[in-house]
Amino acid sequence: MYPSRKVTGAPSSASRTSGQAGVLVLPAGKSGHLELGYLIGQGKPAYIWMPEEPDRWDVMYRFADAVFIGDTGIDELIVTLGRLQGPMEDPHE
């Protein structure tokens, strides 16, 4: 296991708290699901996008603010993210 400082160059707390919202793009691994859960726990907007309707829904996806599916879903997700309040921060500043 690598601390986020080695992987991203940023301390762990900065990588977990700097964003306004999160999007889990499926398919994703365990760490992506954990990060989305962390954002939800912080009260930040959390969304899921999947390329197609799954055969079986994971019940935990109900904790997300919204789930978007397919090409039309990606367009709806972009509109939803554009409605978020406040300016977007540049992570490189």
pLDDT of residue 8 exceeding 90, the answer is no
pLDDT of residue 9: 58
Q: What is the pLDDT of residues 50-64, one digit of tens each?
A: 999 999 999 999 999
The answer to whether the beta carbons of residues 50 and 67 sit under 8 Å apart is yes
Domain residue ranges of the chain, discontinuous segments joined by +: 21-82
Q: What is the pLDDT of residues 64-88, one digit of tens each?
A: 999 999 999 999 999 999 998 655 5
pLDDT of residue 1: 43
Cis amide bond preceding 11, omega within 30 = no
Q: Dump the DSSP string for 1-52.
A: ---HHHHHSS-HHHHHHS-S-EEEESS--HHHHHHHHHHHHTT--EEEEESS
CA 35 to chain centre: 7
Q: What is the pLDDT of residues 26-46, one digit of tens each?
A: 999 999 999 999 999 999 999
